[in-house]
Every structure is written in structure tokens, then in C-alpha cells.
Structure 1
Amino acid sequence: MSPFDRDSVERGGMQVSGLVWTLTVVGILGLVVFDFYFHVRRAHIPSLREAGAWSAVYVGLAIVFGIGVLIFGGRDMGAEYFAGWVTEKALSVDNLFVFLVLLNSFKVPRADQQKVLLFGIVFSLIARTGFIFLGAALINSFAWVFYLFGLILLITAGNLLKGNESEGRSADNVIIRLARRFLRTSDDYDGDKLFTVQDGKRVLTPMLLVMVAIGGTDILFALDSIPAIFGLTQSVYLVFTATAFSLLGLRQLYFLLDGLLDRLIYLSYGLAAILAFIGVKLILHALHENNVPFINGGEHIDVVEISTGVSLGFIIGVLIITVIASLLSPKGRAQTHVAAARRHATEFLDIETDPRYCDEIYHKLLDEEARIKRLPEKYRARIRQEDELMNLLRRAHRVHDERVAAGTCFVRV
């Protein structure tokens, strides 16, 4: 007997045996524990090779799981899983932009960023699981929830097109302001400790604050992503597994895409198109299931519904076009080099203290400056007009020269 059986009672859902649920949850928790004990517990900076290898492993696991759903659950369920996983993975990449802002704003040392990211992933798994079961309960009780989910996605798509980020996605959101006001906090890190002793008093370190910030933004991200995936499948099991597999490996993906994130200048437009598409799909489904009294007298409306296959094709197509357009864009290339130079200069000046890694960062900065010099003149002219950036770069060079003269900086031969 297949572990997946369609349930005639649950709207568009499926019944999954308790054994399958247990094995799935244990497997996901096992992957998180493995990630912590073998990669995160010892603070280090992942190499590009390490990040790439483990990103491939987690993507491979997600695909293998999807093939299992396809075999045991059928073509429709397999398509629903892959559509949900691809959408959530794309949204998680967008989340990495905000994580990058938070980690830089709090000046988290590079070697300690893994622990912060893993905390964010675990917190996100817990928070989104709660949202998933809440969403499922609402969907099973109230058909009008599809209208609400569709409206949320359309508003989110509009905000992405405007390019505005909410206050809660900044590095100084309300949660952080409350924590700084009512709790004793220090300005300096003490390794990767969450608490330290300062002037004889036990205080919070910035490490705990940045974890709170990432946890707060994860809740806001869930308000976008959970309605999106419910627009592709109403199966709680598929929603949960697609969401979980999209988050697993996100830590490794952060370090793999670190230099590429700034290059994806059109990603927000692609995500806006996808969310708007799913929003329309949800509203069409709501019209088909309609029981709202003031809409068509509470009777359902015969409308064309968008199939999962069409949804999957649209999502993949938009992402491919978005990524290719971003990579080929001269503006994207210029933006990538400028953002990387700014980040390396900031790390060199204000974040890292290890002389060996400082030297590595400085030479990365030199590489980015060399790439900027090879850009077309119109982009170089715009960059020269950015006084804040030019002052930052000049200060990085001056500090490097001072450290070399003082013998506190390693010099490559």
C-alpha cells in the first residue's frame, strides 16, 4: 500500500501515515543535528569547495525525496512537491539578502556566521511549522482564506516591485530596539558566546541580538512563503517537507552565493511575478470553492483553474530568465563588484581581527577594485561619485599601510 493516500475529506489534501510523518521529522531533525555537530560547532570559515559540496548534497536530498513522492504518491503530488520546493528555495535565496544585511550590520565575525545562520534555519523551521498547521486549519474550516492568501501574495508582489523593504526586515527592527532598551547588552563579541560578563554584570552579546533579529525576520518571511506554497498544494505533508528541504542547506548556500547575491539584481522582479501568479491562482481557486455570501450569492463560480504542471513550468521559466538576465547585465556586474568591495573594506576595518584572515580580505578587496577599473567608463564615473564608498576604500588602504608598518599585518609574497 502506498504511504500516500488521497483523502476525500481534506480539501485537495492527502492522508499520510503516522509512520511516514515520524520518519520524515526524525530525518529532518537528524540532518540539523548532523549539520551542527560536524560543521557549525567548531567556528570556521567554510571554503568555497565545502559550501558547494554540501549545497549539492542538500539539493540532491531534496530531489531524491521528490522522486520518492513522485513514485509513491503519483505525478500530481510529485509536481506539487517540486513546485513548492522550487518556489520556497527561490524565496529563501531572497531571504539571504536580508541575512547578509543583518550579519554585516551587527558586524558578526565571518567564522561565527554559521552558528547564527543555523539558528535562523532552526527557528524558521519551528515558526513555519506552526504557520503551516495554522494555515491548514484555516483552509479546512474557511474557504474564504484562499482570498486572503491571494491578496497577501499580490500585495507582497507589489512591494517587491517597488523595492521597499519593511521596517521589520532592517537591522534595527522593533524587536532589537526593545531588546536594547530593556535588556543589558554589550557592544563587543566574546567569541560565539550569547552572554558575557562586563563590569561584573552578566550581559547579552551582539551574537544573541543578531539571532533575535534573524528570528524576527523569519516570522515575517513566513507570512509571504506559507501562503505561496499553499497556493501550489494544500497537502500539509508536502507543504512541510518542501519548506523544510528548502531551508536545509541554506547555511551552505549563503557562503556559496556570497559573491553572487549582489549580482541577482532582477531576482525581486522574478519573485514578484511568481508571487503574483500564485496569488491569482489562489483567487481563482477561491472563486471555484466560493461560499462567501456577498460573492455570487455564496455559490461557486466556474472559472479556469491553473494546473500544478503549468505552475511548475511558469515558476522554473521565470527563475531561469531572471537569473540569466541578472548574470548578463552590465549593471549587475558593476553592482556586484561595488557591493563586494564595500563588504570587504568593512570587514577589514571593523569586523575581523585575525591577521591572516584580514590579509585575505584585503587582497579580495584589491581584486574587486581591479575588476571595477575594468568596467565601462560610465559605471566607473558613477562609482567615483559615491563619496562614502571612496572614503571607505581610502581608509582601508591607509589602515593596511599602517598595519604593515607596525608589523601587525601579514604581507603576501
Structure 2
Amino acid sequence: MVESIGSPALWIGFLAFVALMLALDLGVFHRKAHVIRVREALGWSVVWVALALTFNALVWWQFGADRGLEFLTGYLIEKSLAVDNIFVFVIIFSALGVPPLYQHRVLFWGILSALVLRAGMIFAGTALLARFHWTIYLFGALLVATGVKLFLGRNEAPDPTGGRLMRLVRRVIPSTHELRGAHFLTIENGRRVATPLLLALVLVEISDVIFAVDSIPAIFAVTLDPFIVFTSNIFAILGLRSMFFLLAGMVERFSGLKTGLSAVLVYVGVKMLAMDWVKVPPALSLAIVAALLVAPVLLGAWRDRARGHRAAPASGRVLGPSRPEESR
């Protein structure tokens, strides 16, 4: 196992920083419920990315280029996989009728819970890899299989609010179909029931756990240092809410994103399977991940634009013959 750079003082300092930022977020900047506009979301996205890069620079300065590149690669992977969460969040809020006014509240508590859940999963994974090294091959195989599955289903829209999952949630949690302001619980017919906000929160939590099963092993393919794994994960999650409000209205435009994500998962899975025999330098690994993410998105955008240009002349040919008929 790799010796961790995380001393007790670093752990305490980082956790204190996260607690401070969350307190400022909910207690000061978003104390009153309001609709998050694109300009505000962009500002917060810049803040979170700047904080992550500042932390990255500190890691690079204090512990060397390799650890700095490991953090940056892990953060890039997590940030990219987080975009896929946005597709699911959009569906959850739309299906349950959660208005934009209350979406930030749901995401805040959902991500706060996700921080605790992911911390537990990271420490469990670290302990498992330290005790049973062969589990690294299981993680690698899981990532390869997940990447292939994501590629094959890249054109399918996920529906976490339908089917057995939604029926199970409603069976376990008595609920009403009507909102009660910003409340997660309300009284109906003399008993306490959940509002759609609580159901949305539960589904956000479930979807995040499902995504974490893929994303956390992906970080272990980059580094086995639990401090790097944890901090890169947390910085990506902290910026997820602002990224949601920034990108929620245009997720459909990222037509090549799932192809890129599937390629990254397959790459890090193969890297994990071969890490005992093949050592990929951190700088090269970062370049490969960036290329696998950016190239499919750019190619998808180029294809969409080409289709748009082809569709325009076609529509002109259809309208052309109709004009003489209309003039008669």
C-alpha cells in the first residue's frame, strides 16, 4: 500500500474546511429559498473549481508533482462522472414535480449525506485493498464491465423514479403527492408522511450510492492514498450542486459524454487490472483521461452540427414546392 500523505492535522483541517464551507453555503448565501439562476450557478462553479485547484497546488507544492497529478486526475474523473448524476437529478425533479425554488435544498442535504456515505465507502475500500490485495482485480473488472454497459446503453435515458425502485420507496416511506413548501415531512389524515421533497432526497441518495460504486474504484486506479481519494472525491461533490444548476438545462447537448465516460471507466479498469505489472506515469494518465473525455464530446458536437446543416437544406426542399400551391 502507498503511504498516505494525510496526517491527523491535515484530516482535521480539511474536514473543518468542508464544514465551514457548508455552513456558509446554507446558513449565509442560501439561507432563504430562491431559484438559482445561471449567473449565480456559474459564480459558485468557478468558486468550487478554484478552491479545488488551489488545494491541488498546495498538494503539489508540499508533496510533489506525482501526488499533485494524482489529485488532479482523480478530481477530473470524479467531476466528469458527476455530470452523469445531473441527468438523473433532472429526471427525479421533473418526475416528482419539484420546482426550482426547492431543488437547492434537496441537493444540499443529499450531498451532505453523500459526503458521509462516500467517506465510509472510501475507508472501507482502502481497508479492503490493504487486507486483500486481490480485490483490486475485482474493482478493475467491475469498472471495465460498467464502462462497457454504459457504452451499450449510452442512448437510453435512466429512470430512477419509475418501476420497482419508486414503488419500493413509496411502500417503505408513506408519502403525499403534494408539496408542502420546503418541508420534507407533513401531517396528513393524522399521520406524518413524506412530501415529494423527501422522496426526491431519497432517490438522489440512492443514485449517488450507485454512482459511487463506479467512481470510487475509478479513483483507486489512480492512487491508493486515502487522503487523495477522499479529498478529490469531496471537492467534486461539493461543486455538484452549482454544476447542476449551470448544466441542467443543456445536458442533452453533451451527446458524446457517455461515450467518453465509458472509455474512461474501461481505461481505469484496465489500468487497475494491470497495475502490478504496468506503471502508467501520473502525467500520462492525466493526459489519457482528459483526451478520452474531451474527444468524444467534441466529436459529438461536430456530428450534431453537421446533422443540423444537413437538415436545413432538406427542410428548404420540402417548403419549395408548396409555395406555388399556396399562391394559387
TM-score of the aligned structures, taking structure 2 as reference length? 0.90
1:329 correspondence with 2:303 = yes
Give the alignment partner of residue 315 of structure 1, picking from 278, 281, 289: 289
Deviation at 1:166, TM superposition (A): 10
Give the alignment partner of residue 239 of structure 1, picking from 209, 229, 245: 229
1:135-214 alignment runs, 5 A limit: 135-163=125-153, 170-172=160-162, 174-214=164-204
One-letter amino acid of the counterpart of residue 269, structure 2: G
Give, in whole Å, the separation in 1 of the partners of 2:205 and 2:86.
13
For the pair shown, the structure with the greater C-alpha radius of gyration is: 1
Give, in whole Å, the separation in 2 of the partners of 1:319 and 1:12.
27
Q: Deviations over 1:101-145 (max 9, x none)?
A: 111111101111111111221122111111100010011111101
Give the alignment partner of residue 269 of structure 2, picking from 279, 291, 295: 279
Is the CA contact 2:154–2:258 (under 8 Å) kept in the aligned structure 1? no
1:376 correspondence with 2:312 = yes
TM-score of the aligned structures, taking structure 1 as reference length? 0.72
Give, in whole Å, the separation in 2 of the partners of 1:166 and 1:181.
27
Deviation at 1:378, TM superposition (A): 6.1
1:323 aligns to what SS in structure 2?
helix
Give, in whole Å, the separation in 1 of the partners of 2:258 and 2:55.
28
One-letter amino acid of the counterpart of residue 76, structure 1: D
Give the alignment partner of residue 25 of structure 1, picking from 15, 37, 41: 15
Q: Which residue of 1 aligns with 2:240?
A: 250
Q: Which moved more, 1:177-186 or 1:310-319?
A: 177-186
Q: Deviations over 1:320-365 (max 9, x none)?
A: 213322333327997xxxxxxxxxxxxxxxxxxxxxxxxxxxxxxx
Deviation at 1:47, TM superposition (A): 1.7
One-letter amino acid of the counterpart of residue 276, structure 1: V
Deviation at 1:100, TM superposition (A): 0.8
| Identity fraction in percent | 35
Q: Which moved more, 1:170-179 or 1:155-164?
A: 170-179
1:2-401 alignment runs, 5 A limit: 11-163=1-153, 170-172=160-162, 174-285=164-275, 288=276, 303-330=277-304, 376=312
Cα 1:314/1:204, change in 2 over 3 Å:
same
Give, in whole Å, the separation in 2 of the partners of 1:173 and 1:41.
35
Count of aligned pairs:
316
Give, in whole Å, the separation in 2 of the partners of 1:195 and 1:257.
29
Give, in whole Å, the separation in 2 of the partners of 1:42 and 1:196.
20
Which 5+ residue runs of structure 2 have no aligned equivalent? 317-328
Is the CA contact 1:84–1:243 (under 8 Å) kept in the aligned structure 2? yes
Q: Deviations over 1:31-58 (max 9, x none)?
A: 1221112344311111211111111010
Give, in whole Å, the separation in 1 of the partners of 2:240 and 2:279.
33
One-letter amino acid of the counterpart of residue 294, structure 2: I
Cα 1:194/1:332, change in 2 over 3 Å:
farther
Higher share of residues assigned helix: 2
Give, in whole Å, the separation in 2 of the partners of 1:52 and 1:375.
33
Q: Deviations over 1:222-250 (max 9, x none)?
A: 10000000000000000000000001121
Give, in whole Å, the separation in 2 of the partners of 1:178 and 1:165.
26
Deviation at 1:379, TM superposition (A): 8.8
Cα 1:169/1:312, change in 2 over 3 Å:
farther
Deviation at 1:165, TM superposition (A): 9.4
1:196 aligns to what SS in structure 2?
strand
Deviation at 1:60, TM superposition (A): 0.3
Give, in whole Å, the separation in 1 of the partners of 2:269 and 2:243.
28
Cα 1:332/1:56, change in 2 over 3 Å:
farther
Give, in whole Å, the separation in 2 of the partners of 1:58 and 1:232.
22
Is the CA contact 1:13–1:236 (under 8 Å) kept in the aligned structure 2? no
Which 5+ residue runs of structure 1 have no aligned equivalent? 1-10, 289-302, 335-373, 381-413
Cα 1:333/1:203, change in 2 over 3 Å:
farther
Give, in whole Å, the separation in 2 of the partners of 1:216 and 1:189.
21
Give, in whole Å, the separation in 1 of the partners of 2:237 and 2:307.
28
Give, in whole Å, the separation in 2 of the partners of 1:136 and 1:379.
58
Q: Deviations over 1:152-209 (max 9, x none)?
A: 1001101111116999962136554223124421110011111112233322111111
1:14 aligns to what SS in structure 2?
coil
One-letter amino acid of the counterpart of residue 231, structure 1: A
2:274 aligns to what SS in structure 1?
helix
Give, in whole Å, the separation in 2 of the partners of 1:112 and 1:329.
36
One-letter amino acid of the counterpart of residue 311, structure 1: S
